[in-house]
């Protein structure tokens, strides 16, 4: 599971991407839950498999928001910009839901999007125009294929009923994201062939 189709110092001197204070952490503070670190730090009663899913879903969700924001700014195609805005909207909502669930279960949440997502962000942030559009949409198709598979599995096999319910509830949105990403990617491909 690479990144979920479920947001900040960015490039400091262009050498490394450091995503401190993602929107996840901001959300915790703005909703008054930051004053209860013991809730976030207490040991979780979730299985290791469920905890792994939460960690991956949280990192992926934050990454989708940050990449979506990047696409809405750097995208040169209207469809790519619109897709990026949709990612910010939908994954921000899913991130909030997962944060509440994890807090309720005493499950620790990651504070950053993780190395692999940072590498993707860094690579995409160096691109512009049609090259950005193509690379971003290719990543989104691959990503959401993995997301759908992971959420389908969690919706069937998660041990915690609340987590299983959240995965089931989020799955249709991820399937819609995959459909939209595939359609947008195909549209970009058709357009580039037409210019040849």
Where do the structural domains in the chain lie, given as residue ranges? 11-194
Shortest CA distance to 56 belongs to which of 169, 172, 178, 158?
A: 158
Q: Does domain 11-194 have CATH number 1.20.1260.10?
A: yes
For residues 154 and 53, the answer to whether their CB atoms sit within 8 Å is: yes
pLDDT means per 10 residues in the chain (196 residues)? 41 34 38 35 75 96 97 96 97 97 94 93 96 97 95 97 97 98 93 61
The residue behind tokens 């050498």 is 15
d(CA 163, CA 38): 21
Rounded Cα–Cα distance for residues 186 and 196 (Å): 16
For the chain, helix (H) and strand (E) counts, in that order, are 7, 2
Half-sphere exposure of 63 (CA within 13 A, CB side): 30
pLDDT, position 190 = 82
Retrieve residue 188's tokens. 């970009």
Q: What is the dihedral of CA 115, 111, 147, 31, to 10 degrees?
A: -160
**Among candidates 177, 152, 179, 181, which has minimal Cα distance to 167?**
152
177, 151 contact by CB (below 8 A): no
Neighbour-count burial for 110-134, b at 16+ CB within 10 Å, e otherwise: bbbbbeebbebbeebbeeeebebbb
pLDDT attached to residue 8? 35
CB atoms within 10 A of CB 65: 26
pLDDT at 37: 36
Beta bridge partners of 16: 12
What pTM was estimated for this model as a whole? 0.76
Quickly list H helices, 106-160.
115-125, 129-157
Do 124 and 84 contact (CB within 8 A), yes or no?
no
pLDDT of residue 45: 81
Cα distance between the two ends of the chain: 36
């Amino acid at each position: 599971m690479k990144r979920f189709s479920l947001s900040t110092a960015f490039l400091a001197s262009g050498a490394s991407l450091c995503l401190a204070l993602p929107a996840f952490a901001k959300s915790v503070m703005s909703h008054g839950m930051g004053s209860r670190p013991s809730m976030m730090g207490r040991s979780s009663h979730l299985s290791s498999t469920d905890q792994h899913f939460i960690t991956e879903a949280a990192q992926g969700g934050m990454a989708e928001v940050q990449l979506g924001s990047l696409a809405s700014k750097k995208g040169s195609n209207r469809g790519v910009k619109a897709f990026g805005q949709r990612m910010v909207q939908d994954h921000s909502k899913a991130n909030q839901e997962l944060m509440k669930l994890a807090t309720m279960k005493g499950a620790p949440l990651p504070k950053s999007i993780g190395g692999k997502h940072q590498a993707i962000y860094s690579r995409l942030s160096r691109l512009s125009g049609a090259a950005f559009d193509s690379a971003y949409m290719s990543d989104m198709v691959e990503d959401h294929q993995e997301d759908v598979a992971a959420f389908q599995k969690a919706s069937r096999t998660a041990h915690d009923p609340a987590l299983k319910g959240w995965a089931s509830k989020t799955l249709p949105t991820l399937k819609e994201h995959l459909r939209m990403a595939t359609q947008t990617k195909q549209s970009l491909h058709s357009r580039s062939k037409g210019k040849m």
